Chains A and B, each alone.
Chain A
Amino acid sequence: MDTLSSLADGFAIALTWQNLALALLGCFLGTLIGALPGLGPSNGVAILIPLVFSIGLPATPALILLTSVYYGAMYGGRISSILLNIPGDEPAMMTTLDGYPMAQKGRAGEALSISGLASFVGAFFATWGLVFLAPQLVKVALLFGPVEYFALFTLAFATLGGLSSKNQAKSAIAAALGLAIAMIGVDGQTGVPRFTFSNVHFYDGIDFLVAIVGFFAVSEVLVFIENHATGPSAKPAPKLGRIIPSLSLIKETSGAMGRGTILGFIAGILPGAGASLGSFIAYAFEKKISNKGDTFGKGDPRGVAAPEAGNNAAAGGALVPMLALGVPGSGTTAVLLAMLLALDITPGPLLFTKNPDVVWGLIAALFIGNFMLLVMNIPMVGLFVRLLAIPAKYLMPAVAMISFVGIYGISGSTFDLEVMIAFGVAGWVLRKLDVPLVPVILGILLGNQMENNLRRAMTISDGNLWALVESPLAVGLWIMAIVGFILPLVVGRFVRIGALKKSKIDAGDVGTPD
């Protein structure tokens, strides 16, 4: 078993005192970030990347820290969903539906522990899925040439709007905006400056970290300022009650966890889906098959277990295309891609062959972090509940200032800070207009690679455009891209109606879209 021996090597890397400490810190920060409304996996990780970069951690420890934050945030989102009926982040939205009614019945502790266990099950099996599926995908990806990569990037953009997209034109415009921003700077192939307005600051292009922190963190602060939101402190958190779940409760919910894990994992792998869709599908499916006594929505533990298993499994599944192909399928994995690029690691098939230590160290860290999170999220959940009381009027300024510190730490330039503020304002406007931010980010991240692959393909074929559709692999990818873009126009309406019905129940404030 080649894979298992690689995984064992990974554990050897991850099991140093320093890396264990970083994983522990990451899990703690992640749970906190997930739990606090207004901070979710994408903006939480986004704020931390520049800081980790400036502190100068080497690649593997930095990766371990940040992916622990990512997994931790997936766990943490449920805490405020259950206690306050406010999802801590978007994937945790479905958890409010049965979690909050459970808390009102005095079963908050049980809801938290069952959802914690479900998160563990989802993440644990999804990480195993990652272990076995990613190397298979790498084998396919090794056959890719520049043409296939160009088609793959197009596929990623075409499907990013996904089934949840309300308006495909808006997803496409967002992608084009991101790609356009990526064009700013000196052209890597011929060395000529493009769209720099003769301003020296633009010669290096727009730093994607500056863009991401502006888009995710600063725009979130602006949303809070607009709504004058004072946060969840107004409502006192209900009593936790029993924290350790009974065996019969675990037995009752185990089916829901299993189904949620499988559906979530699949949703995570698919392009354009991500954790929010994972938890939505898991909840909807569980309700369909288990809602015999009409208990869903009134505090059924299975309605807590399914979406939490779903979103954590999706978080693991989303890492498969991100690591194996270098193409993220959701907002949070786009941020993780930014993290890899900032650390000078290019994900994709070559990462598995050239830097197996990074990949397997990371995967081993995910397993370790997952166990830490289980411990942190069941017996110690009371600690996070107390931290939830930080009101937004102190939290959001702190978020803004930490964003400034991180970006200033990279370059020490006022210009970068101002670009970040500009992205924050632009992000706020785009969110108002319902234009998704993730395709913009992905465009900025992938724009230059996408162009380089196209130009390399054209150099190989000596300018013959038909080369783009010569290989069957490329044709397959093109067809998937076209279907992926058209399908939501047809199916989307149907899915959206279902989602709308759900969201009526929920009136809470939701963090950055996943």
Chain B
Amino acid sequence: MSDRLFGLAALLLAGLMTWGASVIEESFIQDPLGPKAFPWVIAAVLAITGIAMMLKPDDEPEWPARAKLLRIVWSVTAMVLYAELLPIVGFVVTTAAIAAFLSWQLGATVRQAAMGGVAISGGIYLVFHVVLGLSLARGPLGF
């Protein structure tokens, strides 16, 4: 079933791509093939392989149970939040927080996670910023 859905998604994407290519505005610079032809070829390959997957799906993969799936959803949400907050709050604080969260998701106790988060954030700051001079996001506190 998953393979069939994926094949269908590929087919839809192929359709979208065909349309997307057809509305590309041609420029005054021209070459015989133009900017639309190759995307159309790719869309055709996508469509054919998508249909092939719908006709001959493999065995169903093992999707994670609800609890595991939620763990992934939370982790991804935390990462997006991290990306948004990083330039505002600064590197050290946000990184310690998300590293601790991920560590907790990976089975660390709260105490272990907190210490791990601080160690990871501090360690990266030390190695990459202080020693190697890489510019990391600077928050209102200067780090």
A residues near B62, Cβ cutoff 8 Å: 432
Q: CB distance A397 to B52 under 8 Å?
A: no
Instruction: From B31, B56, B62, B63, name the one whose CB has the most chain A CB atoms within 10 angstroms.
Output: B31
- CB neighbours of A228 from chain B (8 A): 68, 71, 106-107
- Take A176-B46, A463-B32 as given contacts and tell me if A226 and B68 are in contact as well, using a CB distance cutoff of 8 Å: yes
In the complex, what distance in Å separates the CA atom of A193 from the CA atom of B25? Answer: 8
Q: Which of A393, A401, A409, A454 contacts B98 (CB 8 A)?
A: A401
Chain A residues with Cβ below 8 Å from B134 are 51, 54-55, 405, 409
Residues of chain A within 8 A of B61, CB atoms compared: 432-434
CA gap between A216 and B100 in the complex, in Å: 22
Q: Given the known A-B contacts A166-B58, A169-B52, A434-B58, are A187 and B46 also in contact in the complex, defined by CB atoms under 8 Å?
A: no
Nearest B residue to A230 via CB reads B107
Q: Is B106 within 8 A of A173, CB to CB?
A: no
Chain A residue with the shortest CB-CB distance to B51: A169
Say if the beta carbon of A479 comes within 8 Å of chain B. no
Chain A residues whose C-beta falls within 8 Å of the C-beta of B102 in the assembled complex = 221, 225, 396-397, 400
Q: With both chains docked as a complex, state the minimum distance between the C-beta of A451 and any C-beta of chain B, in angstroms.
A: 4
- Determine the distance from Cα of A173 to Cα of B51 in the docked complex, in whole angstroms: 10
Number of A residues, CB within 8 Å of B: 66
Q: Which residues of A contact B48 (CB under 8 A)?
A: 172
Q: Across the interface, do A414 and B83 meet the contact criterion of CB distance under 8 Å?
A: yes
Interface residues of B in 59-80 (CB under 8 A from A): 61-64, 68, 71-72, 75-76, 79-80
A167 interface residue (CB < 8 Å to B): yes
Verify B64–A226 contact, CB threshold 8 A.
yes
Contact of A428 among B10, B72, B121 (CB under 8 A): B72
Interface residues of B (CB under 8 A from A): 2-3, 6, 10, 13, 17, 20-21, 24-27, 29-35, 38-39, 42-43, 45-46, 48-50, 52-53, 56, 58, 61-64, 68, 71-72, 75-76, 79-80, 82-84, 86-87, 95, 98-100, 102-103, 105-108, 112-113, 116-117, 119-121, 123-124, 128, 132-137
Q: A396-B102, A401-B95 are in contact. List 7 more A-B contacts (CB 8 A).
A: A51-B128, A176-B46, A190-B31, A190-B34, A393-B116, A401-B98, A433-B2
> Which A residues fall within an 8 A CB radius of B?
51, 54-55, 166-167, 169-170, 172-173, 175-177, 179-180, 183, 187, 189-195, 218, 221-222, 224-230, 392-394, 396-398, 400-402, 404-405, 408-409, 412, 414, 417-418, 421, 424-425, 428, 432-435, 450-451, 454-455, 458-459, 462-463
Offer 8 A-B interface pairs, CB within 8 angstroms, sorted by A: A167-B58, A190-B34, A195-B17, A225-B75, A230-B106, A396-B102, A425-B76, A458-B32
